[in-house]
Structure 1
Amino acid sequence: MAKLPLIDTRPVKDKPARGTKARAPADRAAHPRPSKRAVGATERRAAIVAAGLDEFTAKGFAATRLDDVAKRAGVAKGTIYLHFKDKEALFQELVRTALGPLIVRIANPPIGVGGGSARAAMEALAETFAREVIGTKRADIVRMIISEGTRFPQLAEFYYREVVAHGIAGMRKLIEYGIARGEIRNPGLAEFPQLLVGPMIVTVIWQGLFGKQAPLDVAAMLRVHLDLIFEGRAT
């Protein structure tokens, strides 16, 4: 058996240089480096989620098979079950991964920062949506929920809870902020924030069905929609 190295327990007389802080062994123990095994498991999980996103958006929820996900991810099918109990759990995780950070931003709009206008905040939101949703797999996820949500109500319920409810809450905050500033004159809009987000969903559906025949300038369309809400008043 190899001998353990001796630990010098004598007190250190020299003080650390000003501006530096000696790191105690306890600190290193509290923040150990992840093992190669843990890193490998994290990488395999990420590969499974990425493969699931590709399979779900290409084939839809019903037609996606975990065998195909495993093949695309380069893992054994049993490896998937080490991370997700079933296909639905995998889908839920990829929704959180793909849409979670975006929804956090939408649910917490930067209203009142520097006295900015509600319209400016909504224009920024519209630009973010056009850039980060349209033409990406995020839009494919939305289309899949629309097409298969009635067949799989548990997916629709999950999507509403994780995505839609937070998005609607963020829209309502923006609308109420615009009403308080006098930018939006119709207070009824706060009761139906779906009217604000509706054109965004229309663009997702339109681009998926008719994008090749008649592609939309999504950002320009959403600016026209904001003209209607703000009655033509500029930012």
Structure 2
Amino acid sequence: MERRPRETSLRSRGRRGNAEARQRAVLDAALEVFLAKGFAAARLDDIAARAGVAKGTIYLYFRDKEHLFQALLREAVGPVITRVEGLLPSFAGSTGDLLHMIAELMDREILQTRRKDLLRLIIAEGPRFPWLSEFYWREVVSRGLAIIRAVGARAVARGEFASDALERFPQLLPAPMLVAVIWGALFDRFDKLDTRALLDAHVDILVRGLARRDS
């Protein structure tokens, strides 16, 4: 019997849905295994077992462990950077308000999620795997620094900042986020850090330090 077009379409969508579900399961399992064992010790066999798929299934979507980890980072952090990039063109408020908004997003989307654990893993494993640092630089860090430079230039152009320090040293803004990631891993059980308050305090100090004295 000839298969009807609608039946073929439904089956095709069903296969796509199953494929997407398997890929999702692999990415979720990869996150757990990488965070538990680190990049070097993680094995595709462990990821496949945790995802409930055959090891060969992973190769349908990812060339190797390196490309699987890259896909995990791109999916986890890429949308956050894109959201921050989208704030600048239409934001009409003060630079202080903009920086506080960015800080709030950094806290909510990174420090309060498992993305912070991925960042901690990159800090730990990056020196051993230069490609990992290079990938994270290209996909995340360079884009983030470009955003902060644009904010610094905007502040100077609007007469809000007397100094171009934020444009020259965009690392000033995310510095406390890195402190929070390291603190959380080592000392949070002794002295829990209020990360949102930390970032807000940092922004306040930064804005006051760079502001025009007559503003």
Does 2:157 match 1:157? no
How do 1:97-136 and structure 2 match up within 5 A? 97-113=75-91, 115-136=92-113
1:219 and 1:197 map into 2 onto residues whose CA distance is 13
Q: Residue 118 of structure 2 aligns to a residue in which SS?
A: helix
Higher helix fraction (1 or 2): 2
The aligned counterpart of 1:91 is 69
- Quick check: which has more Rg, 1 or 2? 1
Distance in 1 of aligned mates of 2:27 and 2:157: 42
- Matched with 2:57 is 79
SS in 2 for 1:60: helix
Percent of paired sites with the same residue: 48
Distance 2:148 2:27 in 1: 29
5+ unaligned residues in a row in structure 2: which ranges?
none
Deviation at 1:80, TM superposition (A): 0.5
Unaligned stretches of 5+ residues in structure 1: 6-24
Q: Which residue number corresponds to residue 153 of structure 2?
A: 176
How far the C-alpha of 1:209 sits from its partner, in A, is: 1.5
Is the Cα–Cα contact under 8 Å of residues 111 and 177 in structure 2 kept in the other structure?
Answer: no
Shift of 1:75: 0.3
Q: Determine the C-alpha separation between the residues in 1 that align with 2:97 and 2:119.
A: 26
The CA distance in 2 between the partners of 1:37 and 1:222, in whole Å, is 45
Q: 1:225 deviation in Å?
A: 1.1
Which residue of 2 is the match for residue 9 of structure 1?
none
Distance apart, 1:112 and its partner CA:
4.9
Which residue identity does 1:185 align to in structure 2?
A: A
TM-score normalised per structure 1: 0.82
Is the Cα contact below 8 Å between 1:107 and 1:169 reproduced in 2? Answer: no
The 8 Å contact of residues 109 and 170 in structure 1, kept in 2 or not, is answered as no
- Cα contact 1:51–1:72 (8 A) shared by 2: yes
SS at match of 1:184: coil
Deviates more, 1:102-111 or 1:48-57: 102-111
